[in-house]
């Protein structure tokens, strides 16, 4: 059977670029983008698009059957900071959307599922440096709790129902084509916009808060690679650690100042600091490397160059 893809939550930061990458991989005719509302990003000006609420199992099923979908990429979620403001809605969206999609795979209506987890599954008792694939996991945010529960469901559906679900734990994702929304790592995107537009930025995390980060191109490549890997090579059916780089707001600011010497940063930590304090500083991704050949291409310096060069074209 040929691959036909549905992206749920396609208008978000990752979904937007994943839509383009999946169209390049499978052809525009074989990719359906969907979201609760359509973004005006030009990516969605062409290609199939459906309005879809990820909490509505029947609507997902109708869409999947209408387009004869084989693979679902479930990107819809409330991220860490927003979820803390609306815990019950976050749980409803993040958890029920996953169960709906896993059940469609269990019923063999679809063949394969991609679902993203996050570094937010770790907590203050997890080792902070080179956080291992398997370790203590005591997330303290609603987002982290929903992602850890989701990982357990993925493994359960694989083991008990033979569902082919694949997942990676994204770090903070840095990109310039679509904005992130509601994450604790969002500072690492906002800082570039403000540096270029205003020459200054007030950071909501402390200057020495190191977090794992990744450029969008690496994140999208990881997503497509794990979905294309042979099933037997995917030994972890909860979710894989993946890593690219780690840095603090101060280190990122200094790298930006190399290219924009006038740039000034102030620090006014808010509630997101408490979230960041429970997350890893860096991640051990050796399981992903050995099982499906994962390796990142963009380090901090390369990310800074990409972000500034591209945003200078689109913002100025
Ligand atoms: N970028 C996400 C967040 O900050 C982490 O998965 O919520």
Residue whose Cα lies nearest atom 2 of ligand 1: it is 183
Order of strands across the sheet with 172-174?
Answer: 172-174, 211-215, 245-247
At 49-77, the pLDDT tens digits run 999 999 999 999 999 999 999 999 999 99
pLDDT at 258 over 80: yes
Atom of ligand 1 nearest to the CA of 173: 1
Task: Report pLDDT for 316.
Answer: 77
Pocket of ligand 1 (CB under 6 A): 79-80, 118-120, 143, 170, 172, 183-185
Q: Is 7 within 8 Å of 18 (Cβ atoms)?
A: yes
Torsion over CA: 314, 298, 277, 275 (sign): positive
pTM (2 d.p.):
0.97
Identify any residues that bridge with 174 across adjacent strands, giving them in sequence order. 215
What are the chain's domains? 5-168 (3.40.50.720), 173-213+244-315 (3.90.25.10)
**Catalytic pick among 73, 143, 170, 187:** 143
At 4-13, the pLDDT tens digits run 999 999 999 9
pLDDT at 1 over 80: no
- 187 is a catalytic site residue: no
Residue whose Cα lies nearest atom 3 of ligand 1: it is 183
Residue whose Cα lies nearest atom 6 of ligand 1: it is 118
Identify any residues that bridge with 165 across adjacent strands, giving them in sequence order. 113
Which among 212, 206, 167, 208 has a CA at the least distance from the CA of 185? 212
């Amino acid at each position: 059977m040929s691959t036909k893809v549905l992206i749920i939550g396609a208008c978000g930061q990752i979904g937007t670029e994943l839509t383009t990458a999946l169209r390049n991989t499978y052809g525009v005719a074989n990719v359906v983008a969907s979201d609760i509302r359509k973004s005006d990003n030009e990516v969605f000006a062409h290609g199939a698009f459906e309005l879809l609420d990820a909490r509505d199992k029947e609507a997902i099923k109708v869409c999947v059957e209408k387009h004869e979908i084989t693979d679902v990429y479930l990107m819809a979620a409330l991220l860490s900071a927003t979820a803390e403001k609306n815990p019950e809605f976050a749980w409803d969206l993040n958890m029920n959307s996953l169960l709906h999609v896993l059940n469609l795979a269990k019923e063999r209506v679809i063949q394969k599922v991609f679902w993203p987890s996050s570094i937010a599954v770790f907590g203050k008792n997890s080792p902070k440096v080179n956080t291992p694939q398997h370790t203590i996991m005591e997330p303290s945010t609603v987002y982290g709790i929903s992602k850890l529960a989701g990982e357990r469901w993925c493994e359960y559906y694989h083991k008990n129902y033979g569902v082919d679900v694949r997942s990676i734990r994204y770090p903070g994702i840095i990109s310039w084509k679509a904005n992130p929304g509601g994450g604790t790592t969002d500072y690492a995107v906002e800082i570039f916009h403000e540096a270029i537009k205003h020459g200054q930025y007030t950071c909501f995390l402390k200057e020495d808060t190191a977090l794992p980060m990744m450029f969008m191109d690496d994140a999208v490549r990881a997503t497509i690679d794990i979905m294309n890997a042979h099933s037997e090579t995917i030994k972890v059916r909860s979710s894989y650690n993946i890593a690219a780089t780690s840095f603090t707001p101060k280190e990122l600011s200094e790298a930006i100042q190399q290219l924009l010497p006038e740039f000034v940063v102030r620090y006014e930590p808010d509630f997101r600091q408490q979230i960041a304090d429970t997350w890893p500083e860096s991640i051990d991704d050796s399981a992903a490397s050995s099982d499906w050949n994962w390796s990142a291409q963009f380090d901090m310096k390369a990310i800074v160059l990409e972000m500034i060069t591209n945003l200078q074209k689109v913002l100025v």
